[in-house]
Amino acid sequence: MLLISCPYCGERPELEFVHGGQAHIARPGDPSACSDQQWADYLYRRDNIKGVHAERWRHTHGCGRFFNALRDTTSDHFLATYKVGEPPPAQAQAQAQLRKATT
């Protein structure tokens, strides 16, 4: 069971959370302007990353808030959690790359 740091509540066990899939996939502002392919990509296409992955979590059995996280899928370690609307912390990305380079 992962330990997840909710940006609002702090560190809590995974069973209080629900995973919400890949982060930073915005719903197109004008869906009718999308081609079928673009809409299908929005609905279904997701990355399957070996390494640092930006993903959504919801602290369902806690504050109820959605937030984003950077998680290294090879180690399950979180590099950062951050609020909706915030960009993924670049620092964490850099750290991850550094870690990769050294291992």
Partner 1 sequence: MSQALRTPSGGRINRARTVRFTFDGRELTGFEGDTLASALLANDVHLVGRSFKYHRPRGVLTAGPEEPSALVAIRRDAARVTPNLRATEVELYEGLVAESQNRWPSLKLDVGAVSGLLSPFIPAGFYYKTFMWPRRAWQWLYEPKIRAAAGLGRAPEHPDPDSYSNRFAHCDVLIVGGGPAGLAAAHAAAESGARIILCEQQPQLGGSLLSETDPGAALGDGEWLSRTIQGLMNHPRVTVLTRTTAFGYFPHNLIGLEQRLTEHLAQPDPRQPRERQWQVRAKEVLLATGAIERPLVFPGNDRPGILLAGAARSYLNRYGVLAGRRAVLLTASDEAYRSALDLHRAGVTIAAIVDVRPQAAGELPEAARRAGLPLHTAATVVGTTGRLRVQGIRIQRLDAQGQPQGAAERIACDLVLMSGGHTPSVHLFSQSRGKLHWNEALQAFLPGQSPEKARCAGACRGIFSAEAARRDGESAGALAARDAGLAIGAIIREPPLLEAAGAAVPGELPQPAGRPAIKAFVDWQNDVTSRDLSLAAREGFRSIEHIKRYTTTGMATDQGKISNLNALGIVARQIGKAIPEVGLTTFRMPYTPVTFGSFAGYARGELFDPVRTTPIHDWAVHEGAVFEDVGLWKRARYFPRNGESMHAAVNRECQSVRTSCGLFDASTLGKIEVVGKDAVTFMNRLYINSWTSLAVGRCRYGILLRDDGFVYDDGIVARIAEDRFHVTTTTGGAARVLAMMEDYLQTEWRDLSVWLTSTTEQWAVIAVQGPGARHVLEGLVQDVDLSAAALPHMSVAPGRICGVPMRLFRVSFTGELGFEINVPADFGAAVWEAVYEAGRPHGITPYGTEAMHVLRAEKGYIIVGQDTDGTVTPDDAGLAWAAGTRKSDFVGKRALERPVMHGPERKQLVGLLTAEPHVVLEEGAQIVPDARVTPPTRPIGHVTSSYYSATLGRSIALALVRAGRERMGQTLYVPMPGGNLSVQVVSPVFYDPKGSRQNA
Residues that bind partner 1 (CB under 8 A): 1-3, 18, 20, 26-27, 30-32, 34, 36, 39, 42-43, 56, 58, 60, 64-66, 74-77, 84-85, 103
- Round to whole Å and give the CA distance between 15 and 25: 25
Q: How far is the CB of 69 from Zn ion (least distance, A)?
A: 12
Q: Which of 4, 6, 52, 79 binds Zn ion (CB under 5 A)?
A: 6
Q: How far is the CB of 25 from Zn ion (least distance, A)?
A: 22
By beta-carbon proximity to partner 1, the closer residue of 16 and 58 is: 58
Half-sphere exposure of 64 (CA within 13 A, CB side): 0
**DSSP letter string, 22-64:** ES--PPPSSGGGS-HHHHHHHHH-----SSEEEEEEE-TTTT-
By beta-carbon proximity to partner 1, the closer residue of 20 and 89 is: 20
Q: Return the one option of partner 1, Zn ion, none that residue 90 interacts with (CB less than 5 to 8 A, by type).
A: none
10 Å Cβ neighbour count for 71?
23
